Amino acid sequence: MLKRSASYETLRAGFRWDLPATLNMAAQVCDGWAVREPGRVAIIDLSGGVRRDVTYGDVWKLSRRVEVALLERGIGRGDRVGVLLSQSPFTAAAHIAAWRMGAISVPLFKLFRRDALTSRVGDSGAGVVVTDDEGRAMLDGMGCATITAADLPDSTRGGQMAETGPEDPAVLIYTSGTTGAPKGALHGHRVLTGHLPGVELSHDLLGQPGDCLWTPADWAWIGGLFDVLMPGLALGVPVVAARMSKFDVAECRRIIAEGSVRNVFFPPTALRMLKAEDARIDGLRSVGSGGEPLGAEMLDWGRRALRVTINEFYGQTECNMIVSSCAALYPVRPGAIGRPVPGHQVAVIDADGAVTDGEGDVAVRAGSASMLLEYWKKPAETAAKFRGDWMLTGDRGVMEDGYLRFVGREDDVITSAGYRIGPAEIEDCLLKHEAVATCGVVGKPDPLRTEIVKAYVVLRPGLTPTDALADALMQFVGQHLASYSRPREIGFVDELPMTVTGKVIRKELKARAAKEVS
């Protein structure tokens, strides 16, 4: 754990990755605790509607039963094991069992449609998927065996823990596909260690007495699995498991109250829904958010309604938790995501790979413990991800006084009349308008300006789209940002295309805008 009394500068200067030659995540999140404190609460399970405190000893026994079932089906070291489950102790046990055996777990979303599920199961070569009855039906005809809780033997006599090291493959997580076809990011057993400093910072030094973690994000997403569940288990912080078919403000408040939650990771979409209802939540010590920039308006609302300063963090499936805010250690700057997390060297570089003070490519130097081993079966794409010793995130940004300001995805930056315009700043501005529930901003092809700024807007309930309102929104942005950032068109929509992780799929909006021209 990070030193609680140190400053950010001291933490960063003195940090070194402590990666032993033998490292297995099952020991980090389960077996070690099960030996030392088997009665310690690991998971507070609300998924069945009634609170059940699950200890590390309970998780160990359940994971051993899963391990025996996997062994009976011929799973061994290096084999891929799909996990198609929502938040539950069974989900944690499935991953832990696979890691203990030296197998590779493959998290799968319950929200996937058949094509998305088929492609991931097929590409990974997962021969067995741990799931439930609903998931078994979804997987029918895909050529993989399934294991449900009802299939587990009573025996907990699994094998010896596989001797694995930091670089040995452990988990295969598919990207959300916002900028192309999903790719499998293969991570080693060091990936959890790589997440811990950023998770601690984003929750104002997680691990304080009484801390308890929860997120509405699915545990199949890296944000749920490695920003919440596994770090919580590794640090001895109880994690709440609660199923939500879709985000609901009242249900969110119930879970926080019944689970005694003090630390929450809210994806930006969830925060926007809470803000739209001006929901007030008491009792929280920290709130982290990542995936999309929040902006000053959301930060101000968070201080009023949640009684905390929301800490933004940044990363991606390929290398996560590399930048974070931490209100407990340094000021949170509106418009900036945060500062590089100790252990991760993050910079903005130019086309030649040199660090630049201006706008450039956000990159992280090789050596970060949360960095992928490779893209699964894609050596060319793996090589293209790097520029020298720097791994490219695909995002554009600016480093200002040690803080990273996000400009936008490289493919999302708008070129209009010679100006390069990031959509995030415009979206943040529009969200300050009382009529806007959520929005997405893209460039629309234009023969004169190359592109114009077009905003797709979802209005708050009860409001009607009008030309006058569109004009008002355009003027609103023009009054708050540079004149060239003002949208020249507003499109009112009922909903925005979203990934299953809650990110706006701007490439679909760009395709829609392009069709409007043709």
- Are residues 107 and 67 located together in one domain of the fold? yes
| C-beta separation of 490 from 477 below 8 A | no
Exposure string of 390-408, with b = 16+ CB inside 10 Å and e = fewer, is: bbbbbbbbbbeeebbbbbb
1 found inside a domain? no
Among 370, 405, 440, identify where a domain stops.
405
Number of structural domains in the chain: 2
- 431 and 343 in a single domain? The answer is no
Q: What is the pTM of this model?
A: 0.84
Task: Based on the fold, state whether residues 268 and 382 are members of the same structural domain.
Answer: yes
Confidence of residue 390 (pLDDT cuts 50, 70, 90): very high
The CA distance from 81 to 176, in Å, is 19
Domain end call among 363, 389, 405: 405
Whose CA is closest to 101, among 70, 77, 125, 127?
A: 77
Question: What pLDDT score does 60 carry?
Answer: 98
Q: Residue 500's pLDDT is what?
A: 67
Q: Is residue 3 part of a domain?
A: no
Give pLDDT tens digits for 116-127.
Answer: 789 899 999 999
Same domain for 176 and 273, yes or no, is: yes
Last residue of a domain, one of 405, 421, 444: 405
**Within a domain: 254:** yes
d(CA 394, CA 409): 6
C-alpha 473/C-alpha 485 separation (Å) is: 12
Q: Are 296 and 332 in contact (CB under 8 A)?
A: no
pLDDT for the residue numbered 178: 46
pLDDT of residue 119: 86
Could you list the residue range(s) of the whole structural domain that residue 67 is in? 8-13+22-405
| CATH number assigned to the domain comprising residue 330 | 3.40.50.12780
Q: Is there a domain that residue 2 lies in?
A: no
Q: Do 281 and 428 fall into the same domain?
A: no
User: Which of the four pLDDT bands, split at 50, 70 and 90, describes residue 223?
Assistant: very high
